[in-house]
Amino acid sequence: MNRQSYTLKNSRRHFLRATGINLALPTFVSLAQRCRAFNNSSSPKRFVCIASNYGMYPQGFFPSTTGKDYELPPLLRPLEAHRQKLSIFSNLDHPGVGGGHGCSATFLNGVESKKAKKDPQSLHSLDEFLGETIGRSTRFSNIRLGSGGFSWSRAGIRMPTESNPVDVYSKLFSDDTPKAKQQIRQFLKDDGSILDVVQQDAKQLNQGLAKEDQAKLDQYLTAIREVERKLSRRNEWLDIPKPTVSSSVIRGDDQSEGIIDLTYPYNTSVMYDLMVLALQTNSSNVISFGHPGGNRLFPFDGITLGYHSLTHHGQRPEIIKQLNIIESFYIEQLARFLTSLQETLDSEDRSLLDSTIVLFGSGMGNASTHSSRNLPIILAGGGLNHGSHHRFPRTGFDGRPLADLFVTILQSLGVQKERFASSTGNLNDVLS
């Protein structure tokens, strides 16, 4: 640990001691809650979320009919082979989320950061929560890939992502050198001792804190406990060899004519391959992947404008045609990913698709108007009751909270949770 880091942590510790305030450590059921996993071996074990940060063109994405006999629109036809193992949803919203580019970051929490200043814990996203529950038994509690991050920690911090496939491969499957391991051990030892001191300071506090400040104190202590948990898990996995897999996923196989192009969007297929490997080797049970936004010019035939410019199509057919090229690429990659999951067995000899819940969607509905309503949502895998297009009624401006689906995802993964984010219930009745 460098001297600066140590000084900063010591400063916080001395500040706590110097306050002289006698406070009590509050006990909250929500923090003590431990989510259980279903004993049923047929229940899903894993979760993957894939985000299209600018949503999808509504007229191209949503089927015109509902039920099991719905007709896939042309954009979604690459998914035909998997229609019995996926569900499509219309009129799912994040109530209370306004429009604008910022709504993309609300995909897995339904909360705008500007509205969470007094309650940063409300930003805690579904994938990060699952990393704390079903992700605790793997080397990596969760893996965040791509760009345009939509993962938020319990402390309300937007989490970074990894966009370089080579770095992802190295992190997942390349063992650290003995020297690096020793450096990590020393860091863990030093950092752990400092955390112990901080916790001892906290335990000395007595009653007297107002309720609104108890939440702040609880948030701080929760962050301390989370750091300790992560440090402990990292230490436990340090001497366990990483899985051995072929590096052909990032360099091409012997039959390839050259090295795989790892620049976006071509690296998308590599990222999907790495996600399959991570699940197959039990490196992680929770993965999120965000397709980049921005105004990058996709190197596809027929594309003349940047991606962001295309999303503001204003219903111009020539622009929508170009946007469809990009969105078709996203759906084709999703279909390929589902096929790979279907063809790959997990440690219990089930297909990864049956043991993994895959969520595809966005926190933005219609990018042309920056609308956060009618979010494009597909749910696949996990052994759920799929095969239908579900269209929920709208009551005035609002549809069904997307967070209702989150509750069903949590419960299907064995997590005892009746509410999450803006949920008002669950969607068990249509997926069980």
Q: What percent of the chain has pLDDT over 70?
A: 69
Neighbours of 356 (CB within 10 A): 27
Per-residue pLDDT at 338: 98
> What pLDDT score was predicted for residue 19?
34
Helix 267-280 × helix 317-343 angle, to 10°: 30
Amino acid 144: pLDDT: 96
pLDDT value for 239? 58
Compare 147 and 196 and report the one with higher pLDDT: 147
Q: Assess whether pLDDT exceeds 80 at residue 188.
A: no
Cβ pair 270, 249 in contact under 8 A: yes
Lookup: tokens for 258: 């050259």
**Cα(351)–Cα(427) distance, rounded to whole angstroms?**
24
Domain residue extents for the chain? 1-33+176-240, 45-175+249-431
* DSSP SS3 for 270: helix
Residues 6+ apart with CB under 8 A from 17: 201
With vertex at residue 107, the alpha carbon angle to CA 294 and CA 411, rounded to the nearest 5 degrees, is: 150
Does the structure show a pLDDT above 80 at 30?
Answer: no
| 8 A C-beta contact, residue 145 and residue 275 | yes
pLDDT band of residue 24 (cuts 50, 70, 90) is very low
Alpha helices in 124-210 (DSSP H): 126-133, 165-173, 178-203
Confidence of residue 221 (pLDDT cuts 50, 70, 90): low
> Across residues 372-399, what is the average pLDDT?
95
pLDDT, residue 185, reads: 57
Look at residue 139 and give its three-state secondary structure.
Answer: coil
- Supply φ then ψ for residue 377, to 5 degrees: -125, 130
Backbone angles phi, psi at 317, to 5 degrees: -55, -40
Helices 165-173 and 267-280, axial angle in degrees (round to 10): 10
pTM assigned to the model: 0.76
Most confident of 214-218, 299-303, 326-330: 326-330
113 pLDDT above the threshold of 50: yes
Residue 34 has pLDDT above 60, yes or no: no
pLDDT at 186: 56
| Tokens matching residue 159 | 């989490």
Q: What does the pLDDT read at residue 395?
A: 86
Residue 50 has pLDDT above 70, yes or no: yes
Q: Tell me how far CA of residue 112 lies from CA of 56, 92, 123, 176, 319, in angstroms.
A: 20, 17, 8, 38, 30
Does the pLDDT of residue 178 top 80, yes or no?
A: no
Q: What is the average pLDDT score of the chain?
A: 79
User: Are 348 and 330 contacting, i.e. CB atoms less than 8 angstroms apart?
Assistant: no
Closest CA relative to residue 54, chosen from 310, 359, 404, 406? 310
CATH of domain 45-175+249-431: 3.40.720.10
pLDDT value for 64: 96
| Gap between the Cα atoms of 215 and 201, Å rounded | 18
- pLDDT-based confidence at 81, cuts 50/70/90? very high
In DSSP terms, 69 is beta-bridged to: none
Q: How many other CB atoms are there within 10 angstroms of residue 29's CB atom?
A: 6
349 Rama sector, left if φ>0, alpha if ψ -120 to 50, beta otherwise: left
Average pLDDT over residues 89-117: 91
